Chain A
Amino acid sequence: MSDNKMNNGRPLREQEQFSLNDDRRVKVLSPGALVVKRFLRNRLAVLGMAMLVVMFIFSFIGGMISPYGEDEQFYTYEYLEKEYAGVVENNELRYTTAEGKEFGSLLQAKVQMAKNKGETSFEDKGVKYEIIAEGDDFLSITADGEPLTVASRDIVSSVGEELSFDVKFAALVASAEEQSSFEVDGTAYELDAEGDILQGGEVVGSVSRFVVQPAQTGTKIPDGFKEAVAQAIAAEQEEFTFADAEGKEGNYKLTWKPATESWSVTQEVETYVYDRYLSPNREHWLGTDTNGMDMLTRLMYGGRVSLIIGFIVVIIETGLGVLFGGISGYFGGWVDNLIMRIVDVFYCIPSMPLIIILGAAMDAMKVDPQIRMLYLMLILGFLGWPSIARLVRGQILSLREQEFMTATEACGIRISRRIFRHLIPNVIPQLIVICTMSLGSTIITEATLSFLGLGVKFPFASWGNIINDVNNAFVMTHYWFIWIPAGICLLITVLGFNFVGDGLRDAFDPKMKR
């Protein structure tokens, strides 16, 4: 025989001569090899296998290669337009009252009444008030001959130290009479064309028609800001820069709002934010999600979670199913009856609603996401075993009547060994098929639960909870890269399992022609 096979250490196939009834004339394949051969002939099954391999590499090796972590967040500087102040052109009389005196709204109303009647004086509580028209829309009021208040559309605002009433009054008069200088208490002031009040070449205040109010209470409008706004409005600029007393420069935008007849000033503020919903680019191939995490990395870790959950659930299911199915099928009688009634009960429990209720309860108990994942696997596994138990029992019922079982009995092998060493291995083909198929459906169930927010929770990624973002309709319509890739990964994986399961079913079936 060795002469035939070897010639100078090399096999010589061509020269081999066998007799007609020699086994070596026919290529003999083991049953396993036949199954593999049949499986590889099925194009869909091979395609499914390839899909699975790709997804496994993507999920388990991808996470290692990816430069980012599962929950690494990315930040960016962003310029936000923040409402800073509102500017209104003053159209009504505003009162500026001398220091230490009061001019309440009652008196203001009386002024208006007197003005409407054309009177120039009125009395209130024994005090005689006189109204003097100093110019258009500019009144001054004296109480018993002493200057008390001025009413004007123009407003004098101070830069730095608050200007005294006398200075304000004089400035308003000068502005109304279009003079370029005035004098108060021996100090000379100048009034330039833009309405700035200068004292010795330095701006101390201004006369303008604009009122600036901060958009948020508590914000202090810096000195000189109003002048800058007035200038910008006068020059019809839409943008201007303004440096406050400390020299910090800011960009501001002016927009006219016709509805309220006012300008709004927005400030550009630089903020440090999560880099959310970033479109795909070189650094983040699939962009970033709502928390500023790299989408591709999330997908890889999500795949790992989905696949691991799928496998553990199927292992639990199969373990329980084989155990109960094996015992039930082998012993028959009342044991079989009891176990099958338990199976019937489990079959009848509506699993999806029950898992939803349990998920909601875990929400109420605020279970830690990691422990929650464990519970999820246990629940899914515990609800899934009856179908496997039925399959195993059915197969074993017919197998145990065969001769090899009588032989094991005759050999005195103990019962557990008879069931799990001699019966179960004969069920393995069907088991592999049903496990492959149920891997796919388990992954879908887990994804659905995570999508509803009742399965795997943040910070863990799962394909389902990545797609969960579409509950925000804006994300659904504008950020395809958030949810389409996750859905495609899910589809490819489940499809892979189903193709392979289908192919295995055909390959294991000895009746198949091919």
Chain B
Amino acid sequence: MRKFIIKRVALSALILLCVTFIIYGLLRCLPGSFIETQAMTLSQAPGAKSYEEWIAQLNEQYGMDKSIVPGYFVWFKDAVRGQFGDSWKYVVPVTQKFSEVIWLSFVMNGIAFLLELLIAIPLGVVAATKQYSRADYGITAAALVGISLPTFFFATILKLVFSVKLGWFDLYGIVGRNYAQLDSMGKLLDKANHLVLPIATLVIVSVGSLMRYTRTNMLEVLNSDYIRTARAKGLSEHRVIYHHAFRNTLIPLVTIVGGSLPTLFSGALITETLFSIPGIGYTSYQAMVSGDIPFSMFYLAFMAVLTLASNLISDILYAVVDPRVRIS
């Protein structure tokens, strides 16, 4: 087990190295509109240096004068020490901006994820136990509708209905107009109020896949021999399903849930952007669109780490939860 984990971690580190190098190379190859725009503005000031001189100076200042491979090693050396440079767009250290916005994303995704679990697992179990019934068709269809809903369209409909027509929530942002006047409890409630629609969007759009996953696994378990044995022993249907079947369904569920934990930090790029929620997703979206290389680089590397971490966690959990895997 220990050897397995060490091997996996080492492999992950190698993959991370490749991924960050590819991303770095791509970002460097693309025309960095940011420096050009800034040089253009600076060179237009009265008595300023020419555009070319500014470009050269800014490139040096931002460490863009090195070619890709040495540039990558400089980045990598700093990144290992936890220094990711200063964001060009936000003009603060990348890590500082990151720590400002990450918790909002985490809270939002965390609540959404909990709600997803609470909705998806019971419904998935019901759909599997009553296969081909009306309830099963309804749940499967609803799950597929959720998967098929484009986030931006669904979010816009929610905005139209709940913000514009009913006026319950604000259209954009995380705080209301009179946020500064509220007491600490009011501030919390205000923020919570602004998170309702984004969380609803996240839950409905992503609950479907978890629901189907639960159903598929539950069906597989229900078709297995030990369930037939349990029924043959004359156990009550309730006990068969919730004691024998459901506990076995939990094996794949626990691994997938554990694997999803790191992604709670990844933010919701599209949803946050649609609702202008200043979490990691929206912040990075703005940085990426404006060509902010240090922040984009950090964000992409962070996402890669999260993906690797979730793969690692689900692999380890699988071995931990399922004794059959451990023996073989």
Contact = CB atoms under 8 A, between A and B. Distances in A.
A498 B14 CA distance: 36
Interface in A323-377: 341, 344-345, 347-350, 352-354, 356-358, 360-361, 363-365
Interface stretch (A2-10, A55-63, A440-448): A440-448
A416 to B, nearest CB: 29
A440 B223 CA distance: 30
Interface in A357-406: 357-358, 360-361, 363-365
A364 B273 contact: no
Contacts of B289: 356, 360
Nearest to A478: B164
B303 A502 contact: no
A490 interface: yes
A345 B23 CA distance: 11
B48 interface: no
Contacts of A358: 26, 30
Contacts of B137: 43-44
B140 interface: yes
A477 B307 contact: no
Contacts of B141: 44
A353 B156 contact: no
B194 interface: no
A347 B307 contact: yes
A470 B156 CA distance: 8
Contacts of B264: none
B164 A348 contact: no
Interface residues of B, number: 50
Most buried by B among A444, A464, A511: A444
Given A348-B304, A476-B160, A487-B156, A495 B144 contact: yes
A347 B304 CA distance: 9
Contacts of A448: 150-152, 270
Nearest to A499: B144
Nearest to A357: B288
A210 interface: no
A233 B11 CA distance: 87
Contact of A353 (B151, B157, B269, B291): B269
Nearest to A44: B141
Contacts of B304: 348-350
A272 to B, nearest CB: 33
Contacts of A473: 171
Contact of B288 (A356, A498, A511): A356
A357 B19 CA distance: 16
B68 interface: no
B150 A491 contact: yes
B15 A353 contact: no
B153 A491 contact: yes
B299 interface: yes
Interface string B142-176: 00110111111100110110001000000100000
B140 A353 contact: no
Interface in A465-487: 467, 470, 473, 476-477, 483-484, 487
B19 A361 contact: no
Given A356-B285, A476-B159, A364 B19 contact: no
A344 to B, nearest CB: 5
A467 B22 CA distance: 33
A42 to B, nearest CB: 10
Contact of B22 (A345, A356, A447, A451): A345
| Chain B interface main SS type | helix
Contact of B300 (A347, A354, A363, A447): A354
A46 interface: no
A452 interface: yes
Contacts of A447: 150, 152
Most buried by B among A348, A364, A444: A348
Contacts of A467: 152-153, 156
B284 interface: yes
A295 interface: no
A498 B212 CA distance: 12
Contact of A345 (B18, B157, B284): B18
B30 A361 contact: yes
B288 A348 contact: no
Contact of A344 (B15, B22, B300): B15
Contacts of B31: 361, 364-365
A491 B149 contact: yes
A494 interface: yes
Given A360-B291, A483-B156, A350 B300 contact: yes
Contacts of A354: 23, 26, 300
A140 B19 CA distance: 91
Contacts of B152: 447-448, 451-452, 464, 467
A349 B285 contact: no
A259 to B, nearest CB: 27
A502 B285 contact: no
Nearest to B216: A505
Contact of B296 (A353, A440, A464, A498): A353
B156 A345 contact: no
29 contacts: A44-B140, A44-B141, A341-B15, A344-B11, A344-B15, A345-B15, A345-B19, A345-B22, A347-B307, A348-B304, A350-B300, A353-B284, A353-B299, A356-B269, A357-B27, A357-B30, A357-B296, A360-B290, A364-B31, A364-B291, A440-B148, A451-B152, A476-B160, A477-B164, A484-B157, A487-B150, A490-B153, A495-B145, A499-B144
Given A353-B288, A364-B30, A440-B148, 7 more contacts: A349-B19, A353-B299, A364-B291, A447-B152, A448-B150, A470-B156, A476-B156
A-B CB proximity, top 9 nearest? A364-B33, A350-B303, A487-B153, A361-B30, A494-B148, A495-B148, A360-B289, A451-B152, A498-B144
